[in-house]
Amino acid sequence: MPVAVVLTGRLTRLEPLAPHHVEGLAQAAAEDRSSYAFTPVPHGLDAAAGYVDRALAEQAAGRALPFAVVRADDGRVVGSTRFLELDYWQGPVVWPAVPGRPYGDPVTAVPDAAEIGNTWLAAHAQGTGINTEAKLLMLRHAFETWRLRRVCLRADARNLRSRAAIERLGATSEGVRRAHSRGLDGVVRDTAFYSILDEEWPAVRAIIELRMTAARTRPALGHAQRDAGPQPGGYDERLVPA
């Protein structure tokens, strides 16, 4: 199974999720929660501890690789994200297919396809570029270290902001799966699916890096401006896949 790694950028550091992140996650999630309508985000210390326990159980089973999103300049935990739905295509062809099970040594195996999701950020970290850089770090690891063939992202079809954020990354829409699952509000939801293929990665990487460069050249927004939403002609990456 993929080994835990630390991914470091200019704004953020993605650390393997661990119990020592529980308090920081609880504090990050305790801010304005209005953007979490479609995203499972723990509320309170006990909920954060359960969140980490479940994520680590998924990791131990080889189904996910979760991270704590840490702000680089002060080491503050500001959210979480993960690789999930790891799929392996190596070895003999069997039918029916058995997804998520590597062929050969599971310790050294790396997936051929994966999803990026379960992403959320503290309110004060939204709109700061942290989410975009985190996606760049994860996609770079997926395509340039693991050599994945495909990365998937998804969102509740009602979450138009999240879908727009995925589309700004340069991901390709695969359509909407109707009545796909039950949402956090109990309503049976449609799910919008997106993907990036390995041959598309160079162009997608260029798009993301260009957006990050453009964001760095604009004057920094104050908290009041960021909370007010996207500025005219500006760039907003606050909402993330759910």
Domain 7-221: assigned CATH number: 3.40.630.30
Q: Which residues pair with 13 in a beta bridge?
A: 8, 70
Beta carbons of 4 and 148 less than 8 angstroms apart: no
User: Going residue by residue through the chain (242 aa), what tens digit of pLDDT does each one get?
Assistant: 788 999 999 999 999 999 999 999 999 999 999 999 898 999 999 999 999 999 999 998 888 999 999 999 999 999 999 999 999 988 777 777 777 777 777 777 889 999 999 999 999 999 899 999 999 999 999 999 999 999 999 999 999 989 999 999 999 999 999 999 999 889 999 999 999 999 999 999 999 999 888 878 765 544 433 333 333 222 233 333 44
Omega cis (within 30) before 96: yes
Q: Is the pTM of this model over 0.85?
A: yes
User: Number of C-alpha atoms within 13 angstroms, CB side, residue 30?
Assistant: 12
The number of angstroms, rounded, from the C-alpha of 73 to the middle of its chain's C-alpha atoms is 21
